[in-house]
């Protein structure tokens, strides 16, 4: 939660409507077949797509999803990383409460796999609530990713935790990993507490 967006009970953060219409999705095969006569573009695609050009990258054969979100990691300089495992029963995540020291800067890293096809326009949306009232909303454009056997990740810009007695306490977060095509790759809830110190 940025220091510029301290909690206010009646504050609402609505997304600004845009006229942007994402291009129709294309398979890896269609992308590779296009513009074959352009040598530099062909080489660029090979670099971008890697092994996905010659093989179908599948991490979990029984899972049709293109994006498999595995972890959320809270990163703050000088502190041990705090991790939420998103690969299991996500209904229990609210029971695990992160402690964040007031006034510190922190980032959130999301670790995920991409399989089957390219995913375009990935977005991470986070809404923060206190006592049932939305007090903050962040939307981060994550980007487009080709399938890879390796774990991929996105780290948010630095955020400032609020400070002062008024802002200490329990917060609930609703997180969503989505994309240009409105696919809901994963939606989960988790919690944190702003405290005077890390302990």
Q: Supply the CATH number for residue 167's domain.
A: 2.70.50.30
Final residue belonging to a domain, choices 38, 55, 72: 55
On whether residue 122 sits in a domain, the answer given is yes
On whether residue 6 sits in a domain, the answer given is no
Chain mean position to CA 187: 10
On whether residue 137 sits in a domain, the answer given is yes
117 in the same domain as 42:
no
79 in the same domain as 48:
no
184 in the same domain as 162:
yes
Nearest to 109 by CA among 177, 50, 43: 177
- The answer to whether 69 and 177 are in contact (CB under 8 A) is yes
Confidence at residue 15, expressed as pLDDT on a 0 to 100 scale: 47
On whether residue 10 sits in a domain, the answer given is no
On whether residue 15 sits in a domain, the answer given is no
> Could you report the per-residue pLDDT of 19-28, keeping only the tens digit for each?
666 666 666 5
Whether pLDDT at 16 is above 60: no
93 in the same domain as 48:
no
3-state secondary structure of 3: helix
On whether residue 4 sits in a domain, the answer given is no
157 in the same domain as 101:
yes
| Host domain of residue 166 | 61-195
In the chain, what is the straight-line distance between the N-terminal and C-terminal CA atoms, in Å?
20
> Could you report the per-residue pLDDT of 124-177, keeping only the tens digit for each?
999 999 999 999 999 999 998 889 999 999 999 999 999 999 999 999 999 999
∠ CA 113-93-126, rounded to 5° = 65
Q: Phi and psi for 106 in degrees, rounded to 5? A: -150, 165
50 in the same domain as 118:
no
The position carrying tokens 């992160």 is 98
Whether pLDDT at 1 is above 80: no
On whether residue 142 sits in a domain, the answer given is yes
94 in the same domain as 162:
yes
96 in the same domain as 41:
no
**47 or 199, which is more confident:** 199
Mean pLDDT of 106-112: 95
88 in the same domain as 154:
yes
Q: List alpha helices for 10-120, DSSP H.
A: 28-33, 39-49
> Could you report the per-residue pLDDT of 39-74, keeping only the tens digit for each?
666 565 556 666 555 567 888 999 999 999 999 999
Q: What average pLDDT does the chain have?
A: 82
Confidence at residue 64, expressed as pLDDT on a 0 to 100 scale: 92
**142 or 199, which is more confident:** 142
For the chain, the maximum distance between any two Cα atoms, rounded to a whole number of angstroms, is: 64
Confidence at residue 6, expressed as pLDDT on a 0 to 100 scale: 45
- Band of the pLDDT at 5, cuts 50, 70, 90? very low
With pLDDT > 90 as the criterion, what percentage of the chain qualifies?
56
159 in the same domain as 143:
yes
On whether residue 17 sits in a domain, the answer given is no
172 in the same domain as 78:
yes
Report the DSSP pairing between strands 97-101 and 186-195. Answer: parallel
66 in the same domain as 38:
no
Number of domains forming the structure of the chain: 2
């Amino acid at each position: 939660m940025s220091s510029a967006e301290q909690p206010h009970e009646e504050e609402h953060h609505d997304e600004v409507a845009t006229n942007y219409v994402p291009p129709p999705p294309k398979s890896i095969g269609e992308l590779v077949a296009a513009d074959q006569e352009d040598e530099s573009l062909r080489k660029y695609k090979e670099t971008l797509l890697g092994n996905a050009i010659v093989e179908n990258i599948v991490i979990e054969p029984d899972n049709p999803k293109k994006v498999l979100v595995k972890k959320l990691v809270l990163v703050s300089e000088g502190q041990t990383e705090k991790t939420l495992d998103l690969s299991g029963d996500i209904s229990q995540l609210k029971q695990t409460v992160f402690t964040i020291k007031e006034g510190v800067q922190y980032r959130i890293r999301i670790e995920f796999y991409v399989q089957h096809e390219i995913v375009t326009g990935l977005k991470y949306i986070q809404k923060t609530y206190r006592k049932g009232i939305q007090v903050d909303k962040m939307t981060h454009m994550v980007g487009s990713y080709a399938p890879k056997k390796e774990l991929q990740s996105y780290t948010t810009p630095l955020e400032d935790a609020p400070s002062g007695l008024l802002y200490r306490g329990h917060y609930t977060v609703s997180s969503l990993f989505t994309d240009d095509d409105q696919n809901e790759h994963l939606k989960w809830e988790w919690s944190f507490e702003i405290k005077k110190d890390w302990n």
